Structure 1
Amino acid sequence: MAAIPPVQPGLSYAPAGTRPEPAAVVGHGGGHGVAGAVVQTADAVDAAIVDPLMAALTEALATAATRQNGLAPLLADLEALLARPDLPQSVRDAAQALMNLRLPASGLNGATLQQAVARSGMFLEAMLASGKLPADVAASDNIKSALQALRGALQSYLGIETAPADLHVAPPLPPFRGSLPVAQPPVPASIVDTSLRQAATTVLSQTDAAIARHVMLQIASLPASQQPSHPPDDHTQRLVFDIPLVTPQGTAVMQLQIEREMPRERGQPQEPVWSVRFAVDIEPLGAVRARVSQIGDKTSVTMVADKPASAVALQEHIALLQIGLTRAHLQPGDLHCLSHEAPKAVAPQGQFVNRAS
């Protein structure tokens, strides 16, 4: 399992046994609920004494949670920004580099998803530190570095360090350990008919928000023992990624979760359970979540579509999925598609606190 790099330069996190439960962080989507949601509790203060690294992690999580937003609004506005002839070349180059990291939504396969994971920036610091960065992947050829480069170009052009939070699009649910995957549908650009400086200021704010969400993705991918709040019996290894996809309606963002769960009790199957969860929201299907589980030799797939018509259409093609698994030399297990209203993701107690509630 690849190590997760520090979320701040020079900072690493190691297990430290039982830790106090620091409270962080944020409400469930919706503009002002997120903006005013962070609280610090006495437990978090105690954590600074017991474990300075965990206190730093908690602070990073709390700071990121107030600012996070998805890639979808940023990439929508970048597309509009790139259409402007008066855009400075340095900003244009940085914006185009980030846009080039999107995947085509059609024709996704294992190889392209593997490339997307490698270019997510999740493992950048770890690979650089170990000297294991693939020869065909440049240090800047990943979403994290591209976001940082874009922020630097915008800061240089505008002559400012930060911009007010952009509230045109409500942020998606923040990624936290154990939550359901969250898709980001395409959204329209918000900077049409604005001045270049105003447009660049909006994009700077969106870039900061996307970087903050990336920090939360990294924290969500840390081992359970390194989480600010975690069940003591949680031994699941988990990695969480946001992957931008090019669609006819604009840029959507798929969330991908890779999990490896070890047996917890005697008498259970000894093989680890591998599963991949993902969520997409692309028309005409709408929001669809899926879980692909590998238990021993069997591969099981469960899909959940928010639209009843989409669930029916997917269920009608289950036979094609079975054929595809067989051709891939996988033994099909349970394969089915459901339809119901998406359940609300609830953060672990003490992790996400909404001051307004």
Structure 2
Amino acid sequence: MAAAASAASPLPTERASVTPPTPGIQPPTVHASPRAIAGPLLGAAIARQDSLAPLFANLAGLAQGSVALVLPKPLLALVDQILAQRLPVESKPLTGEALRKAVARSGLFLEARQANGEPRPPQTDLKAGLQALRDLLRPAIQPLPAGDQRSVEGEPAQARPAASPGQNASTAPATDPRPAMPRPGLLTPQPVQEPSLTPASRPAIIAQTLFEQAEAGLDRIALGQYASLPPEAARGETQAPTRWLAEIPLALHNGTAMLPLEIERDPPQPDTATTEAPIWRVRFGLDAEPLGALQGLVTLQGRAISVSFWAEREETSRLLRQAGPDLEASLVQARFESAALEIHTGQPRPAKAASGQFLDRRS
């Protein structure tokens, strides 16, 4: 499970002046961290972010022809490209290489690769695909009449006030059905959703719904990129682990579920006398029937591995314990020098949030 993408900052580093300019004197400058640059710009993203599962449900309806009979060919082609980026976990075995490619095309590294001159067409990157979908739909969006507060589904719209990244809580109310914002130590499995569009949906409603869901998905990816940035290190502190937070769409028999991943690599230890292999940790969460909500942690150091599962349902824990010998045998066949397996019922204890991260009153 050490199939983590290479460390690449998803946001560029810029310079910022720390003192006002004085004639004839060059003011000192410091490198503003990507976190300091991006943080103040994310208030609107906090208010709009949402899971990509509802969008994938509606895109599947479009692709299957159950939503509308006549749609522009460019839209249908783009829908197929986005759906093709799902990880088909039921039709073929999930390998480390497949997972590595899924993380690489999750949108987490789009801007970093574009800055390096690498083209990322919509069919090879989820964020690029959502941007293309948003841009394709934008001309078809009609503004609501003044004073009309109805949502695109015909129900009262819920206000979502924006928040500043410096606050210690998100603005989402306790009844908000959206998943908690991405942050280290908190994984929110996102199950398959039913499509909100129907065969009776008008073209304007289809365009408005997909546009808003694409915007919400792009905001969620941006928040995941922000959470993946290195924390602001205080003077004298040890180096923080390298971390990536991504969400992978999974193609299941009944729809698309979102798999949150947190990939972490411990920093090198300069004080140790011997050179040891770095410690990798991969946390993941899944909510899919018939297993229900499930979270896992894989820890890898060299050829030593440990795997832990937490299932909310006792029945699922029992099934995992029954499958334990087969899983341990597969680890032995993979030639790990040591392997450990643990099965728990409930949820893992949430990790303490790092300094500078968003917090959520619901968690």
Given that residues 15 and 225 in structure 1 are in contact (C-alpha distance below 8 angstroms), is that contact kept between their aligned partners in structure 2? no
Aligned equivalents of 2:280 and 2:105: distance in 1?
22
Aligned equivalents of 2:360 and 2:262: distance in 1?
25
What residue in structure 1 maps to residue 328 of structure 2?
Answer: 322
1:194 partnered with 2:201: yes
Q: Which of 47, 56, 59 pairs up with 1:78?
A: 59
Structure 1 or 2: larger helix share?
1
**Cα-to-partner distance string for 1:180-220 (whole Å, 9 max, x where unaligned):** 32211001111224222112211111110000001011111
Q: Give the match's secondary structure for 1:280.
A: strand
What residue in structure 1 maps to residue 162 of structure 2?
Answer: none
What residue in structure 2 maps to residue 143 of structure 1?
Answer: 126
Cα offset, 1:354, TM superposition: 6.7
Count of matched residue pairs:
313
What residue in structure 2 maps to residue 338 of structure 1?
Answer: 344
Given that residues 303 and 336 in structure 2 are in contact (C-alpha distance below 8 angstroms), is that contact kept between their aligned partners in structure 1? yes
Question: Cα RMSD between the aligned structures?
Answer: 3.5
Q: Which of 38, 48, 64 pairs up with 1:67?
A: 48
Cα offset, 1:131, TM superposition: 4.1
Task: Select the structure of larger CA radius of gyration.
Answer: 2
Aligned equivalents of 1:14 and 1:185: distance in 2?
41
What residue in structure 2 maps to residue 2 of structure 1?
Answer: 7
Aligned equivalents of 2:94 and 2:331: distance in 1?
15
What residue in structure 2 maps to residue 57 of structure 1?
Answer: 38
Given that residues 122 and 130 in structure 2 are in contact (C-alpha distance below 8 angstroms), is that contact kept between their aligned partners in structure 1? no
Given that residues 16 and 32 in structure 2 are in contact (C-alpha distance below 8 angstroms), is that contact kept between their aligned partners in structure 1? no
Question: What are the ranges of 5 or more consecutive residues in structure 1 without an aligned counterpart?
Answer: 17-48
Matches within 5 A, 1:3-152: 3-6=8-11, 11-12=12-13, 54-82=35-63, 83=65, 84-106=68-90, 107-131=93-117, 138=121, 140-152=123-135
Given that residues 305 and 311 in structure 1 are in contact (C-alpha distance below 8 angstroms), is that contact kept between their aligned partners in structure 2? yes
Task: With the length of structure 1 as denominator, give the TM-score of the two structures.
Answer: 0.76
Task: With the length of structure 2 as denominator, give the TM-score of the two structures.
Answer: 0.75
Cα offset, 1:102, TM superposition: 0.8
Q: Which of 283, 306, 309 pairs up with 2:312?
A: 306
Given that residues 13 and 32 in structure 2 are in contact (C-alpha distance below 8 angstroms), is that contact kept between their aligned partners in structure 1? no
**Cα-to-partner distance string for 1:49-71 (whole Å, 9 max, x where unaligned):** 99596554112332211111011
Aligned equivalents of 2:58 and 2:282: distance in 1?
30
Cα offset, 1:14, TM superposition: 8.1
Q: Give the match's secondary structure for 1:281.
A: strand
Q: Which amino acid in 2 is paired with 1:251? A: T
Given that residues 262 and 271 in structure 1 are in contact (C-alpha distance below 8 angstroms), is that contact kept between their aligned partners in structure 2? no
Q: Give the match's secondary structure for 1:276.
A: strand
Aligned equivalents of 1:230 and 1:109: distance in 2?
41
Identity of aligned residues (%): 31
Q: Give the match's secondary structure for 1:274.
A: strand
Q: Which amino acid in 2 is paired with 1:90? A: P
**Cα-to-partner distance string for 1:91-122 (whole Å, 9 max, x where unaligned):** 22222221111111222111211221221122
Q: Which amino acid in 2 is paired with 1:212? A: D
What residue in structure 2 maps to residue 237 of structure 1?
Answer: 242
Matches within 5 A, 1:158-177: 158=141, 170-176=177-183
Aligned equivalents of 1:62 and 1:323: distance in 2?
48
Given that residues 259 and 275 in structure 1 are in contact (C-alpha distance below 8 angstroms), is that contact kept between their aligned partners in structure 2? yes
What residue in structure 2 maps to residue 19 of structure 1?
Answer: none
Aligned equivalents of 1:12 and 1:109: distance in 2?
34
1:297 partnered with 2:303: yes
- In structure 2, relative to structure 1, the CA distance for the partners of 1:188 and 1:230 (3 Å cut) is farther
Aligned equivalents of 1:93 and 1:310: distance in 2?
39
Q: Give the match's secondary structure for 2:124.
A: coil
- In structure 2, relative to structure 1, the CA distance for the partners of 1:284 and 1:333 (3 Å cut) is same
Aligned equivalents of 1:265 and 1:316: distance in 2?
42
Q: Which amino acid in 2 is paired with 1:12? A: T
Question: What are the ranges of 5 or more consecutive residues in structure 2 without an aligned counterpart?
Answer: 1-5, 18-29, 145-149, 159-174
Aligned equivalents of 1:297 and 1:316: distance in 2?
25
- In structure 2, relative to structure 1, the CA distance for the partners of 1:332 and 1:211 (3 Å cut) is same
Given that residues 2 and 123 in structure 1 are in contact (C-alpha distance below 8 angstroms), is that contact kept between their aligned partners in structure 2? no
Cα offset, 1:295, TM superposition: 2.4
